[in-house]
Chains A and B, each alone.
Chain A
Amino acid sequence: MIEVKNLTKNYGPVAAVKGISFTVEKGHIYGFLGPNGAGKSTTMNMITGCLAPTSGEVTISGFDIIDDAVDAKRCIGYLPEIPPLYTDMTPFEMLEFVGRAKKIKKAQLYDEIESVMEKTGILDVADRLIKNLSKGYKQRVGIAVALMGNPDIIILDEPTVGLDPIQIMEVRDLIRELGEEHTVILSSHILQEISAVCDYVIMISKGTIVASDTLENLLSQTGDAKKLKVETIGTEEELRNALADISEISSLSVTEGEKTALVIETDKNSDIREKVILALTGNGHSLLSISEEQASLEDVFVRLAGESLDAGAAYAMEKEAEKQEKLEAKRGKKVKVQSSLGPAYYDEEYIKEEPEAEEAEEEYSPLFSAESEEKEDDEQ
Chain B
Amino acid sequence: MNAVYRRELKANLFSMTGTIFIVFALVFIGIFCADYTFGGASAHLEYAIYNASFMSLLAVPVLTMRTFSEERQTKVDQLLYSLPLTTSEIVLGKFFALATIMAIPTIIMCIYPLVMASFCTAGAINFALIYANILCYYLLGCTVIAICMFLSSLTESQVISAVISLAAVILLYFMSSFASMITSSAAVSLVAVLAIAVAIAYIVWVSVKNYIIAGAVGGVLVVGTVVTYVLKSSLFEGLLGKMFSSLAVFEPIANFVNGIFDLSTIIYYISFTALFLFFAVQCVEKRRWN
Contact = CB atoms under 8 A, between A and B. Distances in A.
Given A82-B75, A84-B74, A88-B15, A101 B4 contact: yes
Interface residues of B, number: 24
Interface in A58-84: 69-71, 73-74, 76, 78, 80, 82, 84
Given A84-B79, A86-B76, A73 B11 contact: no
Interface string B1-16: 0111011001100110
Contacts of A71: 84
Interface stretch (A49-57, A110-118, A277-285, A304-312): A49-57
A147 B79 CA distance: 13
B289 A52 contact: yes
Interface residues of A, number: 30
B288 A52 contact: yes
Given A49-B81, A70-B86, A103-B84, A87 B74 contact: yes
Nearest to B288: A52
A52 B11 CA distance: 29
A80 B3 contact: no
A359 B74 CA distance: 29
B86 A49 contact: no
Contact of A98 (B2, B83, B288, B290): B83
B78 interface: yes
Interface in A172-211: none
A93 B6 CA distance: 11
Nearest to B2: A100
A101 B84 contact: yes
Contacts of B75: 80, 82, 84
Contacts of A97: 3, 6-7
Contacts of B76: 84-86
B237 interface: no
B6 A76 contact: no
A82 B76 CA distance: 9
B82 interface: yes
Given A78-B82, A101-B83, A101-B85, A51 B288 contact: yes
A86 B78 CA distance: 12
A103 to B, nearest CB: 7
A286 to B, nearest CB: 58
B6 A49 contact: no
Interface string A108-136: 00000000000000000000000000000
A84 B77 contact: yes
Interface in B65-124: 74-79, 81-86
B6 A50 contact: no
Contact of A102 (B7, B84, B86, B290): B84
Given A50-B288, A86-B7, A101-B3, A70 B78 contact: no
A244 B11 CA distance: 77
A262 interface: no
Contacts of A76: 82
Contacts of B2: 100
Contacts of B78: 45, 50, 78, 80, 84
A73 B289 contact: no
A160 interface: no
Contacts of A86: 7, 11, 76
Interface of A: 11, 45, 48-52, 69-71, 73-74, 76, 78, 80, 82, 84-89, 93, 97-98, 100-103, 145
6 contacts: A50-B82, A51-B288, A69-B86, A97-B6, A97-B7, A101-B84
Given A89-B11, A101-B84, 11 more contacts: A50-B82, A69-B84, A70-B85, A76-B82, A80-B82, A84-B74, A86-B7, A88-B14, A88-B15, A98-B79, A102-B83
